[in-house]
Amino acid sequence: MEDVIIIGAGPCGLSAAIECQLQGLSVCVIEKYNIVHSIYLYPTHMQFFSTSELLEIGGIPFVTTLDKPYRHEALAYYRRVASHYNLRVNCYEEALSIDRQPDGTFIVRTLTSSGVQLEYPARNVILSSGYFDHPNILGIPGEDTEKVTHYFREAHPYTGMKVAIIGGSNSAVDAAMELLRVGAEVTIVYRGEGISSHIKPWVKPIFEAMLEKERIHMRTSSRVVSILPDRIVIESLTEGTTDELENDFVLALTGFRPDRKLLASAGVQMSEDMDKPVFNPETMESNIPGLYIAGVVASGRNANEVFIESGRGHGKLIARHIARAPLSES
């Protein structure tokens, strides 16, 4: 029996695994894809908002050539940290359920990529699943067609194309700037009156200059109401009118939401509006003794409520709480 099973091998899950190991606990991490899968899904050339120091885990320095690292540097860093601590991470294995037993221990049931179902007994479980698997769906006609994606990886496939970006956050602005470099005709459609106030300060003036020069077009106080094979239909939220725009591809960069299914199946209490799990912020323990929450899954509908730089500290709180609790015999 493991002392701790951790579900999710993102930065916060890996940090929790390290902290538990340092407390002398036996740990196994279950990961649906590869380690730090959410970072792998970031745009290929993305630069972090945070400094490398704020992304560090396990006391291992994150040495980069720039103050704010790029995606590929983060992937290499977290691989190195996992290897340094010799973490046991079962990749490409999906956690299906967390069942609390009469004696207070847990059974975590999983499914491997080859279709084999496994069971793991554990004294404690830490749920540290991410949110990149679950984009916020617009619910409009045409959203499920091949020309639409909720993930932007790199600009090359859109060279010379008419591309609409739905959203006004950093991801939308970064995508627009990359698309501009490959000759795409870019239009941003955003419900807000202007771009987000949280746009990276070193990007914002350049982006605004591109808007002024009309090299990037932006439709504020607007929303896409229909996606057709060769065009999109845009509604003005101030005037209530609609018009059509020629279009080849749509990037629906509308954000993501944590998955609550495992929490619900395990009996974790949710807040009144079902927005976030209820937990003790001093220990990260849920209402189920021995079941802990770490990372972005602790956030509400706004997945940006918990970042790597804040969520990485959850593991230390959890590990100290578990280590103080008496361990039963296997």
Query: Quick one: pLDDT at residue 131?
Result: 66
Question: What does the pLDDT look like over 288-301, one tens digit per residue?
Answer: 999 999 987 777 65
Question: What does the pLDDT look like over 155-184, one tens digit per residue?
Answer: 999 999 999 999 988 889 999 999 999 999
- Which one has a higher pLDDT value, 178 or 134? 178
Report, as an integer, the average pLDDT of 241-257: 91
- In the numeric block, which tokens belong to residue 198? 């949280």
Question: What does the pLDDT look like over 23-69, one tens digit per residue?
Answer: 999 999 999 999 999 899 888 888 887 888 889 999 999 998 888 89
Query: Quick one: pLDDT at residue 236?
Result: 94
**Who's near 237: CB < 8 A, 6+ residues apart?**
191, 221, 222, 223
Query: Quick one: pLDDT at residue 203?
Result: 86
* Residue 162 β-bridge partners: 185
Report, as an integer, the average pLDDT of 113-121: 95
Domains defined for the chain, CATH in brackets = 2-133+256-324 (3.50.50.60), 148-252 (3.50.50.60)
- In the numeric block, which tokens belong to residue 50? 């945070």
Query: Quick one: pLDDT at residue 305?
Result: 46
Query: Quick one: pLDDT at residue 302?
Result: 53
Question: What does the pLDDT look like over 257-316, one tens digit per residue?
Answer: 766 778 888 888 887 655 678 888 899 999 999 999 998 777 765 554 446 766 788 989
Mean residue pLDDT across the chain: 89
Whether 319 contacts 19, CB under 8 Å: yes
Pairing mode of beta strands 117-127, 148-149: unpaired
Question: Any idea which of 191-200, 251-260, 311-320, 321-330 has the lowest mean pLDDT?
Answer: 321-330
Question: What does the pLDDT look like over 219-238, one tens digit per residue?
Answer: 999 999 999 999 999 999 99
Query: Quick one: pLDDT at residue 328?
Result: 45
Query: Quick one: pLDDT at residue 330?
Result: 37
15, 22, 28, 328 from 25: Cα distances, Å: 14, 7, 10, 12
- pTM, full prediction: 0.84
Question: Any idea which of 85-94, 126-135, 198-207 has the lowest mean pLDDT?
Answer: 126-135
Question: What does the pLDDT look like over 76-113, one tens digit per residue?
Answer: 999 999 999 999 999 999 999 999 999 999 999 999 99
